[in-house]
Every structure is written in C-alpha cells, then in structure tokens.
Structure 1
C-alpha cells in the first residue's frame, strides 16, 4: 500500500466537487444581475428553507460565523427581503423570515441553481442522480451525527432509511 494520498480518493473528490460547485454558483450569482452578493444569495435561500429559524441556527446550517450572517442579514433587511422578529420563547433571540418582496429574487436564484445543476450533471441519468442524492444524504447524516458528538453514524444511517 502506497503512503501517497490518492487525489481521487472519495474525500478529496467530494471536497473538490463542493469547492468547484460553490465557485461556479458564486460566479453565476455575481453575473446574474440580482443585486446580491453570492453570500447574500446563499443566505436568502437558506432563510427561505429554514423560515422562522433563529439567526444562530441559520449560521450553523450555513457553516458560517454568526457575525458574518449578521452582516448578510443587515443587507437583506435593508433591501426589504427579510425581517427579524422577536422569538416569543426568548426575547433576546430573533427569528428570521422572508418577506413577499423576496419571492421574485429567490425564484431567480433558484433558476440559476437549477441551470447550474443541469450543466454539472449533464450525462448522468435520473436513476444515478437519485442514487447519488441518497448517498450524499447518508454521508451528511453520518457527518451530522459525528459533529453532534454522538459518534454514532449507524444511528444516522438508520434515520435516513
């Protein structure tokens, strides 16, 4: 067995693909004329999927620092795309909601995402894409279990079956 790392090992390939996909998404958003930075676009889409979540939860889901998220939220709020509401369970916390004004820009971001994924997955059949999606969700669940300190990927595996 060689001691040299294999650049085509699954971990390296996943990291490369994730980095390249993010870079391609950022280029598309930067040139789409949305008036948002790629970070703001990612944040707006994530807020739409986590509607009514706390700022800290959104930052954790995005893998960014709360202060970075706060900067994005300030800008999105100034554009009228989101609003911060007091959390009835904790007056110190804010729940983040999209506004009706965000719907059109979210739809335009989605168009960019869909087109990018169409290009990226060109030549891969629907059955293979479905299997790939399931396997990626499995990896994500295992990683979430590890991050939560449970160290029990088998529990995560059972949860997604």
Structure 2
C-alpha cells in the first residue's frame, strides 16, 4: 500500500485576492488533491487505478484505447494500471467479442463483491468534507461548480473549433 502525504496549503488570508485566478486554482486543486489522497490511502489504489475502476463501473468491457480516450491517459499507461489491477485480482482482460486482435477489460467478481468498501470510504470522506457546511451553501456550491464546468466545456469546444478552423487555413 502506498503512503500519500499531500498537504493543502492555505494562502495568506490578508494578502490573497480571493478573486484571483491563482487563489481559485489553489483552492480547487487543494480540495481535489485532499479528496484523492485520503481516498487513495484508504483503498490502497493509486489515483489512476481508481479512475480506471470508476470508468469500468460505469461501462465495463472497454478496450485499452477506449479507456485511454475516456480518461485522457496515454494508452501505454492504461495498460500498466490495468496490469496492476489484474495482479490484485480486480480486473481481467478478455477477448473482444468481434475483433480477434483486441482485448476488453472487465472488473472481476472480487471487485464487484467488494466495491461497497470503496463506496463506504467515499461516503465517510464526503461527510467529513462537508461537515459544518449548511444545506443551502452546499447546494449553492454544487450549482456554481456545475456552472463552472459548463463554462469550461463551452470554452473547450470554442478553442477546439478555432484550432480546427486554423488547421483548415494552413
């Protein structure tokens, strides 16, 4: 089991501009890092192993390329993480149903029988993370985060369209 020692760093309250991009980036990164660190420590999985498990829980039987594309991880790295999960008895490769050259990756019955353990860990971590936050504040935060995600999806799409248009004019 690997030991994670991430630590959130609070900016100096008097000098920090809470509306600065740097403050936002630090705040959102620290929360994500701490959630991942505590979860990873409790489960014994690495962040990317967990990401693969979560993706396969949503859509089991993907190829290595499909997983790589879904998670934005290099295909070779996905292969390494899947091999590690196989060694733990949590994932297995099976022949693709129609493409004899490809393999599909499935979660094992062992993982399915024990997935409640990871879910329980995350439920307790979530409860600790939102301790002291009122219901209305929590809902406002979720709504704001969803709006930020939607804004970033729009930005990403417009940048991709601009890149594509630029590539056509070259």
Q: How many positions carry a matched residue from both structures?
A: 143
Once the two structures are TM-superposed, the CA of residue 76 in structure 1 deviates from its matched residue by: 1.9
Aligned to 2:34: 20
In the TM superposition, what whole-angstrom CA distance separates every residue of 1:64-92 from its partner, at most 9, and x where no partner exists?
33222211211222333223234446544
* SS in structure 2 at match of 1:101: helix
**Structure label with greater radius of gyration:** 2
**5 Å matches for 1:46-125?**
46-88=55-97, 90-125=99-134
CA contact (8 A) 1:45 1:106 kept: no
Partner of 2:94, secondary structure, is strand
The 8 Å contact of residues 63 and 103 in structure 2, kept in 1 or not, is answered as yes
Change (3 A) 1:150 1:20: farther
Q: TM-score, normalised by structure 1?
A: 0.67
**TM-align CA RMSD:** 3.1
TM-score if structure 2 supplies the norm length?
Answer: 0.64
Which blocks of at least 5 consecutive residues in structure 1 are unaligned?
A: 31-35, 152-161
2: CA distance, partners of 1:145 / 1:56: 26
